[in-house]
């Protein structure tokens, strides 16, 4: 038996036995916080928590004590949408963008997803793993404990498999991190292949090969102007379902693409991006279990309008937040900054933003039973902040590195190094 007691916690966030598995509308404003708290972990699972005055008197003699130093303790974030397996970077396009080229113009010039696909083909699986691993570890430093990782820079059977095998290796080497893999063959059309031929190859070559190796949990498609049509997306997702891969959609990032309605029709677990969302899309989502997932760092980086989070919340929808960490539209996995953008740019309250990045993001990965809140008998996945005056300080102090330590199953997986002590 190992026992760990975290004490001197200024506020223990989302420790509750009664929270629902997803929060919508005005319920997202509520965030349980226990002041002056302790958290007791036994063998990696939450044993007990509460106000310090309720600290059990007879703790096991071998209990290891950790002083939280007056920091807050939160359940680890769930980053339910990333593309962290990619080769190199694309800061040359970043400069093109500064000079005035649009995301679509850059893509048409051979940049964008196709640029990353070409680099990926030239990169060995070993090198790809090293780069992806560094990004995964970086996520831990932002308080992330569960993550979804997509393929989609392969765009051929061989390269898509190469990407998903890297994800598989991350799963194997980082068993404490809850990782879900998503096949995103329908991310872009490779240059040398005709449209119909590529769609057919996704369905006839890639899906069976991926299913045979058990490499993916979900199938995603980029349903947007200039990319895949609603019909192509639905056809791919329906075939993916036959192989047990549940649907997710990149929808309505560039236009009112019909992607949200297609996601609802296909019973997608989540639809993500949603910059172009109006009444019709909201009505469709209201009649579904599909979680709208917003990626504000993408809108920030591309200079787009932000998704209308307030409209969605006021309509009683659940909202999740994720980073979209990728080389072309969100070269950052900083979930704390995502929270800041959600508050500053989308007018979400700090409580709503935290709920969106924990409970609802867990629902977007079907991890309701093992992530998103702190509950007795469950995995002790949490992070301790530096001493801060309040929870609102987290999104307020945008860009600050506020995570001091991250724990998964009660084990330390990240600790900030101090250069001065």
Query: x-or-dash pattern for Fe ion, window 280-319, by CB under 5 A?
Result: ----------------------------------------
Q: Does 327 bind ligand NIG (CB under 6 A)?
A: yes
> What tokens were used for 336?
């704390």
> What tokens were used for 152?
């989609």
Q: Does 324 bind ligand NIG (CB under 6 A)?
A: yes
User: Which of 33, 84, 113, 219 contacts ligand NIG by CB under 6 A?
Assistant: 113
Choices 32-40, 44-52, 240-248, 323-331 (CB under 6 A): range interacting with ligand NIG: 323-331
What residues have CB less than 8 Å from 118, skipping those under 6 apart? none
Closer of 71 and 333 to ligand NIG (Cβ): 333
Give the residue ranges of DSSP H helices in 142-193. 157-173
Q: Which of residues 168-227 bind ligand NIG (CB under 6 A)?
A: 222
Choices 110-118, 133-141, 285-293, 341-349 (CB under 6 A): range interacting with ligand NIG: 110-118
User: Which of 79, 266, 281, 324 contacts Fe ion by CB under 5 A?
Assistant: 324
Closer of 324 and 352 to Fe ion (Cβ): 324
Given a contact cutoff of 8 angstroms between Cβ atoms, the answer to whether 255 and 41 are in contact is no
- Least distance CB 298 / ligand NIG (angstroms): 5
Given a contact cutoff of 8 angstroms between Cβ atoms, the answer to whether 409 and 379 are in contact is yes
User: Which of 11, 71, 75, 112 contacts ligand NIG by CB under 6 A?
Assistant: 112
What residues have CB less than 8 Å from 414, skipping those under 6 apart? 137, 140, 141, 383, 403, 405, 406
- Least distance CB 254 / Fe ion (angstroms): 12
Closer of 41 and 254 to ligand NIG (Cβ): 254
| Gap between the Cα atoms of 27 and 184, Å rounded | 33
Closer of 131 and 400 to ligand NIG (Cβ): 131
Percent helix / strand / coil, the chain, rounded to 5 = 35, 25, 40
> What tokens were used for 415?
């600790």
Distances 125 to 116, 120, 159, 377 between C-alpha atoms, Å: 15, 9, 9, 38
222 binds, among Fe ion, ligand NIG, none (CB under 5 to 8 A by kind): ligand NIG
Closer of 37 and 216 to ligand NIG (Cβ): 216
What residues have CB less than 8 Å from 266, skipping those under 6 apart? 234, 237, 238, 241, 247, 249
| SS3 assignment, position 386 | strand
> What tokens were used for 222?
């980029």
Choices 50-58, 72-80, 321-329, 413-421 (CB under 6 A): range interacting with ligand NIG: 321-329
Q: Does 276 bind ligand NIG (CB under 6 A)?
A: no
Given a contact cutoff of 8 angstroms between Cβ atoms, the answer to whether 110 and 189 are in contact is no
Give residues in contact with ligand NIG (CB under 6 A): 112-113, 116, 222, 250, 253, 298, 324, 326-329
């Amino acid at each position: 038996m190992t026992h760990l007691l975290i004490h001197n916690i200024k506020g223990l966030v989302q420790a509750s036995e009664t929270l629902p598995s997803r929060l919508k509308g005005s319920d997202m404003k509520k965030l349980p916080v226990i002041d002056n708290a302790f958290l007791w972990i036994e063998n990696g699972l939450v044993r007990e928590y509460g106000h310090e005055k309720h600290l059990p008197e007879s703790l096991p003699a071998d209990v290891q004590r950790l002083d939280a130093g007056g920091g807050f303790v939160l359940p680890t974030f769930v980053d339910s949408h990333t593309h962290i397996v990619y080769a190199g970077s694309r800061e040359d396009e970043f400069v093109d963008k500064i000079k005035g080229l649009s995301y679509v113009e850059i893509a048409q010039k051979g940049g964008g997803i196709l640029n990353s696909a070409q680099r990926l083909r030239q990169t060995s699986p070993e090198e790809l793993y090293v780069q992806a691993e560094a990004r995964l570890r970086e996520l831990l430093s932002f308080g992330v404990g569960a993550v979804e990782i997509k393929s989609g820079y392969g765009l051929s059977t061989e390269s898509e498999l190469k990407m998903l095998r890297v994800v598989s290796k991350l799963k194997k080497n980082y068993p404490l991190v809850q990782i879900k893999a998503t096949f995103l063959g329908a991310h872009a059309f490779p240059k040398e292949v005709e449209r119909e031929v590529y769609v057919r190859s996704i369905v006839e070559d890639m899906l069976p090969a991926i299913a045979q190796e058990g490499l993916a949990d979900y199938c995603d498609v980029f349903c947007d102007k200039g990319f895949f049509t609603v019909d192509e997306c639905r056809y791919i997702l329906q075939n993916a379902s036959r192989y047990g891969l549940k649907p997710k959609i990149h929808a309505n990032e560039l236009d009112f693409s019909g992607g949200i309605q297609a996601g609802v029709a296909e019973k997608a677990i989540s639809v993500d991006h949603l910059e172009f969302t109006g009444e019709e899309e909201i009505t469709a989502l209201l009649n579904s279990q599909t979680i709208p997932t917003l990626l504000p760092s993408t809108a920030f980086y591309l200079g787009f309008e932000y998704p209308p989070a307030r409209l969605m919340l006021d309509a009683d929808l659940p909202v999740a937040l994720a980073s979209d960490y990728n080389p072309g539209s969100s070269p950052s996995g900083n979930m704390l900054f995502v929270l800041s953008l959600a508050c500053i740019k989308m007018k979400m309250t700090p409580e709503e933003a935290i709920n969106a990045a924990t409970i609802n993001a867990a629902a977007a990965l079907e991890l309701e039973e093992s992530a998103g809140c702190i509950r007795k008998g469950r995995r002790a996945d949490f992070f301790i902040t530096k001493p801060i005056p309040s929870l609102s300080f987290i999104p307020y102090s945008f860009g600050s590195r506020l995570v001091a330590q991250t724990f998964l199953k009660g084990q330390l997986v990240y600790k900030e190094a101090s250069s001065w002590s």
